[in-house]
Amino acid sequence: MSRRREIKIIVLLAAGLALAAGFMLDRRSTASAYLVAWVTAAAIPIGALALWATSYLVRRVWTEALHEQFVATAATLPVIAVASLPILFFTKQLYPAAADPSALPPFKSYYLATWFFILRGGIYFGLWIGLTVRLRRAWRNDGAMVRAASAGLVVYALTVSLAGIDWMESLEPDFHSSVYGLLFLSFTLLSGFAFVLGVSLLPGRRIGRSAGYSGLLLSLILLWGYLHAMQYIVIWSGNIPDEVTWYQARSEQGWQYLLAVLSLGQFVLPFFALLSAKVRFGPRALLMLCGLTLLMRCCEAALLILPAIHHIALLTTALMLLAAVLFFGSLLWLAFDRALANDGRLFSLAWGMRHSAGSEAPPAR
């Protein structure tokens, strides 16, 4: 076993023990922190899956250059699904519909019922893992690639939008936004691309000129910023109290500072940085932007989730969030490494790419 792998396992175990202690001492605060870190980690393979399918439709250099990383990242979906179990055990600590469904209107009480919530989550992951298998099997077959990606992206858009509503918006069942599902979709796309591009820019990998990838990163940042601005404008123009208070809760009690950090770190700084040719053509600078994007995803998840959960100890939540981030960071990295090396049946989805019978690469268009 390599030294780096040993360190990742030690971090994973230490963070896991810290989380276990947190669950025993303060369930609500620890579950809240765990949910933030889990959503941040889950968005990486979910977003990579959509971009992988898109690469089958938009044939360019990235279709071949990033394929191995897309496969390995999407192959971590089963691990993310299993890692959601602690959230299911503590749904009553997190979700009002699970704690007191009688306080909700009839439709919401049925739709957000715990059993239906869990069933939908299982369906989402089942469809995403099935799409991963289909995309892997379609590799090198032009017709199958187009069919799998076209149908898969439709399923992806619907299921990811619903998942965002289930996992985060339902924390505040009185709040409603028609844009929320799209916000979570942009959240996953940014996460998936930042991770895949970041690992592809590490020393020893060759993915060609970085300018094209920086253009895609900028496009995703603009999409993310546009959707957030659109939701704010719609809620501001409607001036509905239940929706306005959602922004008010995130603009006081210290959350306004995290909101400012997110605005600067995810939009202002990357936008102006990517206007520079030195950044666009510099792998090291682009790698730093990918790391910043992943960090901002955690900040955004915290901003969307934590103000909605009452009666949590902020210090405990902060400490448990650090432990949860370390836990999921090491877990995801270990799973990615294993998938990339095809070192186990659980992540054998990477097998199809490595054993493609010497076929020619798909032609660029």
pTM of the prediction?
Answer: 0.91
pLDDT at 352: 42
Kindly indicate the confidence band of residue 210, based on its pLDDT and cuts at 50, 70 and 90. low
Question: Which residue in 319, 355, 349 sits closest to 45, CA to CA?
Answer: 349
Measured distance CA(20)–CA(24) in Å, rounded: 6
* Predicted local confidence at residue 176, as pLDDT: 85
Helices (H), 168-206: 180-200
- Which residue shows structure tokens 């059993």? 115
| Two tokens, residue 57 | 């439709």
Task: State the burial class of residue 124 (Cβ atoms within 10 Å of its Cβ: 0-12, 13-18, 19+).
Answer: buried
Using pLDDT thresholds of 50, 70 and 90, give the confidence band for residue 18: very high
Q: Are 87 and 31 spatial neighbours (Cβ–Cβ below 8 Å)?
A: yes
Mean pLDDT for the stretch of residues 127-143: 93
Would you state the pLDDT for residue 51?
95
- pLDDT score at 207: 74
Say what the pLDDT of residue 211 is. 63
Rounded Cα distance, 338 and 333, in Å = 8
Instruction: Give the residue, 183 or 252, on which the prediction is more confident.
Output: 183
Average pLDDT of the segment spanning 40-63: 93
Do residues 71 and 52 touch, judged by C-beta distance below 8 A?
yes
Across 217-228, average pLDDT: 94
Q: What pLDDT is attached to residue 1?
A: 62
Q: By three-state DSSP, how is residue 157 classified?
A: helix
CA-derived radius of gyration, the chain:
20
Q: Where are the beta strands (DSSP E) in the chain?
A: none
Confidence band of 212 (pLDDT split at 50, 70, 90): confident
User: Mean pLDDT, to the nearest integer, of 89-102?
Assistant: 88
Q: Report the pLDDT averaged over residues 195-216.
A: 81
Confidence of residue 243 (pLDDT cuts 50, 70, 90): confident
For residue 312 the two structure tokens come to 């949590």
Give residue 26's pLDDT band: very low, low, confident or very high (50, 70, 90).
very high
For 72, residues 6+ apart whose C-beta sits below 8 A from its C-beta are 336, 339, 340, 347, 350
Residue 206 vs residues 56, 61, 77, 136, 200: alpha-carbon distances, Å: 20, 11, 25, 22, 7
DSSP type of residue 206: -
